[in-house]
Amino acid sequence: MKKMLGYGLVTSNGKKWVKQRKLASRAFRSEYLKEMIPAIIDAVEAMLQKWVEYEGKEIDFFKEFCILTSEIISRTAFGSSYVEGKDIFIKVDELIEIAARNSQVVRLPFFRKLVPNQDDMESDKIEQFIRESIQNLMLRREMRKYNGDDDGYGDDLLGSLMRAYRENESISLDDIIDECRTFYSVGQETTSMMLSWTSFLLALNPDWQEKIRLEVLQLFGDRSLTSEDFSTIAKLRKMTMVINESMRLYPPVLGISRTVAQDCKVGNVLLPKGMQIQISTLVLHHDRNIWGEDAQLFLPDRFASNISGGDAFFPFGIGPRLCVGQGLAMLEAKLALSMILQRYSFTLSPTYVHSPVSRLTCKPQHGLQVVLQRL
């Protein structure tokens, strides 16, 4: 995990985690989320422009949503420096690819230095590129601050990290690099899975697709959305129910892990201090004792009241390590779905093969082919 995510928020503990968590929470506060709306809308609009040539034809939503969420995380994490940010994330993707390829390979660091293989050399080159790019971005923001034509470092994730770096909150350049890497890795893939599985279920259940389209049209009509719609987005009640039911059936993150802090007993099972445990989101989200005999069915109405499933529904985790990007993920999904449903209806294509697979997240193995119809 550390090879892929670096030493950012997800993999850190103790005092370092507290500091990183504070910085990240600052960058994703709700007033900043509102400011992220134009960037999200621009990215969705660019995707929809491309869809014109697919009207009446098949399109792979899975691929589309991977590109979309990658665009959004670049724009929101790097704000005005988004173009450079995108290049950095492309390189982060390559690093993750190399790390995944070598995840089963055990090599001593000494040996790696002495006889580096092709992947070692490639990842060193990429690390160097990322480091230099982030340094350049930081330098440019400092110049802007110096010239007084900006409010400072900016309120995006990079700005928040930079401020901490300069204000001596004992955060290093390596921390900044690791954090950028973390946010891209965990923020992009999870959200594209959420959008993919929700769309899959909407394609299979046209009645629900129609219900939430109606909700969107009642709230926004067919006009373009803006950041002024921030509070109205919270009124998309049926859409929230559908997204929740989709994350119950297909949780993007399949489980969370914890270390037992002190000896304790859960039911008849004794858990000794220090033991690593895995809590399966997938299993609990499908448990008939919690959800009833219809646990396998898509029934968004079970989320009509907020208490459905109680603590057994935790797509974003639970406790102090709860997902820091939850607000951004829900905002992205609601904006993207609203804009799609304003223009299109979609059904599953006959070429779609249902084969969810676990690769860190829960993915549609062969893509998500749907047929698009302009309304």
- What are the residues binding ligand HEM (CB under 6 A)? 9-10, 21, 24, 73, 182-183, 186-187, 190-191, 194, 252-253, 256, 315-319, 321-325, 328-329
Residues forming beta bridges with residue 364, ordered by sequence position: 356
- From the list 120, 97, 265, the residue with the least C-alpha distance to 189 is 97
Q: In angstroms, rounded to a whole number, what is the distance separating the alpha carbons of residues 367 and 355?
A: 9
The smaller minimum CB distance to ligand HEM, of residues 191 and 349, is found at 191
Shortest Cβ 8–ligand HEM spacing (Å): 7
Shortest Cβ 152–ligand HEM spacing (Å): 22
Q: Give the SS3 label for residue 374.
A: strand
The smaller minimum CB distance to ligand HEM, of residues 10 and 130, is found at 10
Shortest Cβ 18–ligand HEM spacing (Å): 9
Q: What is the DSSP string of 173-189?
A: HHHHHHHHHHHHHHHHH
CA triple 48-49-53, angle to 5 deg:
100
For residues 325 and 183, the answer to whether their CB atoms sit within 8 Å is yes
Shortest Cβ 322–ligand HEM spacing (Å): 5
The smaller minimum CB distance to ligand HEM, of residues 98 and 330, is found at 330
Q: In angstroms, rounded to a whole number, what is the distance separating the alpha carbons of residues 48 and 343?
A: 9
The smaller minimum CB distance to ligand HEM, of residues 171 and 194, is found at 194
Helices (H), the chain: 2-5, 14-27, 30-51, 61-78, 82-101, 109-114, 118-147, 157-166, 173-204, 206-220, 230-233, 237-249, 281-285, 288-291, 326-343
Shortest Cβ 65–ligand HEM spacing (Å): 11
The smaller minimum CB distance to ligand HEM, of residues 243 and 371, is found at 243
Shortest Cβ 71–ligand HEM spacing (Å): 13
- From the list 197, 208, 161, 201, the residue with the least C-alpha distance to 181 is 161
Dihedral (CA of 344, 347, 352, 358) sign: positive
The smaller minimum CB distance to ligand HEM, of residues 21 and 144, is found at 21
The smaller minimum CB distance to ligand HEM, of residues 24 and 158, is found at 24
Shortest Cβ 332–ligand HEM spacing (Å): 7
Q: Give the SS3 label for residue 307.
A: coil
Does residue 66 have a known ligand-binding role?
Answer: no
Any idea what DSSP says for residue 297? S
- Known binding-site residues equal 323
- Known binding-site residues for heme equal 323
